[in-house]
A and B are shown apart, each in its own frame.
Chain A
Amino acid sequence: MKNWKVMAEPAGLDIPDMDRITAALDGLEASFRPLVKNIPHDVEPALSFRAAAEEQ
């Protein structure tokens, strides 16, 4: 798991009492990280999102 405290410090984030949020971040990390490994290289982000293909 990531060391969230170590990540926050160089980013200049003043987040007191980190312990209250690390478990939730660990949970999200566990579910999200495996997904990233399988993204084909040619998939672009849906940064301008539309719900239907015809509008993209």
Chain B
Amino acid sequence: MTIQEAATALRAGKISSFELTTAALERIRALNPKLNAVQTLLEESALEGARQADQELSRKIDLGPLHGIPIAVKDVFETKGVRTTCGSKLFADFVPDRDAAVVEKLEAAGAVQVGKTGMHELAYGVTSNNPHFGAVRNPWDPERIPGGSSGGSGSAVASEMVFMAMGTDTGGSIRIPAAYCGTVGLKPTFGRVSRYGVMPLDFSLDHMGPLTRSVRDAALTLDVLAGYDPRDETSSRRPVDSYVPPPDAAIPGLRIGWPENFYFDRIDPAVMRGLKRMAAAAEQAGAVITPVRVPDIAAVNAVGRVILMSEASALMEPFLDRRDSFGADVLALLDQGRLIPATDYVNAQRLRRILQREFRAMWENVDCLLTPTAPMGAPKIGQTTVRIGEETEDVRLASTRLVRAINVLGLPAVAMPCGLDGDGMPLGAQIVGKPFDEATLLRVAAAIEDATDFHTLRPPL
């Protein structure tokens, strides 16, 4: 069931928020011992919120489609009075005295928060194999990673514990778990959703967005989250669109860019098959598939790594004398960042400007790009390299290879399922849009979703 379907059933009196929430809590209790997707369960407050939603809806007080819907947020969003660990031993006992802007908005929309999801330590990695709170597991195969850093959110949505879970994305951390768990994941434009109250990893690369079971559920969540927030200096004052595509989303004449370089160089053939089916579906819906040469994505990735490692290490510098508090992989990245010269950081920001201009020129020829999200399905827990074609690649670098650049450029992107690999693991496609053009992006994604059945696949739980 999607949020849209549940919202319709709620208003028709066919189900109550209390029943939805009770079912969510029961599912978490049943599956979480196996998946470790939810780190903190908020049973009492969730049931209270559900009762309140039912009372309000019975009195025709309707706060919108999220009203009464059980959701979860990644444990990086500050929650007033509720422990917020950021997946780190350093913050194991941190109880904020404020809510993140995202949490405020979800509560104002009547969503029922049932828990906080597990994640990669400090949101700095792709496995969610957390040394302090345990490995989060993939519902399609618990021996495999769910992706990260928002791995608990991906696992919780794919296993139908909740209808939506919030994630954050600094180098792919919403889209990678969406791909590996077979869900939709939306990373909005930088500045579109407030970062206020989110424990930061990187000042200029962190984005907030939902993981859901359908494109329209992601869109209706963005409707709630988008908007200017003076408490976030990078928040945009641009007017907010209505993002939910209509039921018969048509895309006549829209130019969907099909990259001629980089994106299809080293991917599982099953990813290519899925993307070709998606392209055919888009053409059936009226779009024009347009071959396009994209700017140097490998260069953007290198720039992104310099910026991320510099900013993350700067942020964590006060804690780096407590080396026992970090997992080995995160500590290695933080140590690397300390050795990047200031001149490289400044030059990376100069290159970012150049690459942004090159992308801007590309948008004159296409309205969006269709690419893979990850080159392969989820690796096994503990696996450090993957074999793709003739090459062996580091799991972290392979997982971020096709998504990191989009953070550097601040562009909106949606990840969505595009089939299964030979091991039966989900694969992901990515649609990238122009800055602040989430409406077009989501319309294209919805048109493709309507014409394919990838989103109906469910893990064998």
Interface residues of A (CB under 8 A from B): 4, 7-8, 11, 13, 15-16, 20-21, 24-25, 28, 31-32, 35-36, 39-40, 43-47, 49-53, 55
CB-defined A-B contacts under 8 Å, sample of 14: A8-B338, A13-B339, A15-B339, A21-B332, A31-B301, A32-B348, A35-B299, A36-B351, A45-B353, A49-B234, A50-B190, A52-B189, A55-B191, A55-B238
The listed residue with most B CB atoms (<10 A of its CB), out of A13, A28, A53, is: A28
Docked-complex contact B336 and A25, CB < 8 angstroms: yes
Cβ of B197 to closest chain A Cβ, rounded Å: 20
- Return chain B residues, CB-CB under 8 Å to A36: 344, 347, 351
Q: Are B356 and A24 in contact, with the CB atoms below 8 A? A: no
B353 touches A25 (CB 8 A): no
Across-interface contacts of A47 in B (CB, < 8 A) = 349
In the bound complex, CA of A43 to CA of B352 (Å): 10
With A20-B332, A49-B410, A51-B409 in contact, is A32–B306 under 8 Å at CB? Answer: yes
Q: Which of chain A's residues have a CB closer than 8 A to the CB of B350?
A: 39, 43-46
> Which 3 residue pairs of A and B lie closest in terms of their CB atoms, listed nearest first?
A51-B410, A45-B349, A52-B435
**Other CB < 8 Å A-B pairs besides A28-B306, A44-B350, A52-B238, 11 of them?**
A28-B336, A31-B302, A32-B344, A35-B299, A40-B354, A43-B353, A45-B350, A49-B190, A49-B234, A50-B236, A55-B191
| Given A35-B299, A39-B354, A43-B354, residue A51 in contact with residue B336 (CB < 8 A) | no
- In the assembled complex, the CB of A29 is this many whole angstroms from the nearest CB of chain B, namely 9
At the interface, yes or no: B436 with Cβ under 8 Å from chain A?
yes
Q: A28 to B404, alpha carbons, bound, how many Å?
A: 14
B228 to chain A, nearest CB (A): 12
With A51-B436, A52-B435 known as contacts, the answer to whether A21 contacts B351 (CB < 8 A) is: no
B→A interface (CB under 8 Å): 189-191, 204, 234, 236, 238, 298-299, 301-303, 305-306, 309, 323, 332, 335-336, 338-339, 344, 346-354, 356, 360, 409-411, 435-436
B190 and A51 contacting across the interface, CB-CB below 8 Å: yes
Contacting pair A39 B351 (CB below 8 A): yes
Closest to B190 in A: A51
In whole angstroms, what is the CA distance A11 to B158 when docked? 47
Pairwise interchain contact B353-A44, C-beta atoms closer than 8 A: yes
CA A36 to CA B344, docked complex, whole Å: 8
Contacting residues, chain A, for B356 (C-beta < 8 A): 46
Bound Cα distance A28, B347 (Å): 14
Q: Considering the chains assembled together, what is the distance between the CA atoms of A8 and B234 in angstroms?
A: 33
Closest B-chain residue to A41, C-beta based? B350
Residues of A contacting B411 with CB < 8 Å?
A: 51
Minimum CB–CB distance from A28 to chain B (whole Å) comes to: 6
Known A24-B336, A25-B339, A28-B305: A46·B349 in contact at CB below 8 Å: yes
> Of the candidates B339, B351, B353, which one forms a contact with A7 in the assembled complex, judged by CB atoms under 8 Å apart?
B339
Which of A7, A15, A16, A49 lies at the interface centre, i.e. has the most chain B CB atoms within 10 A of its CB? A49
Please, how many angstroms separate the alpha-carbon atoms of A11 and B118 in the complex? Answer: 36
Known interface pairs A21-B332, A32-B344, A51-B190. Does A46 touch B299 (Cβ–Cβ under 8 Å)? no
Taking CB atoms, residues of chain A closer than 8 Å to B299 are 31, 35
- State in angstroms the CA–CA spacing of A22 and B190 once bound together: 32
User: Contacting B332 at CB < 8 Å: which of A24, A35, A51, A53?
Assistant: A24
| In the bound complex, CA of A21 to CA of B340 (Å) | 12
Distance to closest chain B CB from A54 (angstroms): 8
Give chain B residues whose Cβ lies under 8 Å from the Cβ of A46: 204, 349-350, 352-353, 356
Most buried by A among B347, B350, B354, B435: B350
In the complex, which residues of chain B have a beta carbon less than 8 angstroms from the beta carbon of A43?
350, 353-354
Q: How far is the CA of A39 from the CA of B346 in the complex (A)?
A: 11
- CB of B358, distance to nearest CB on chain A (Å): 12
A50 touches B410 (CB 8 A): yes
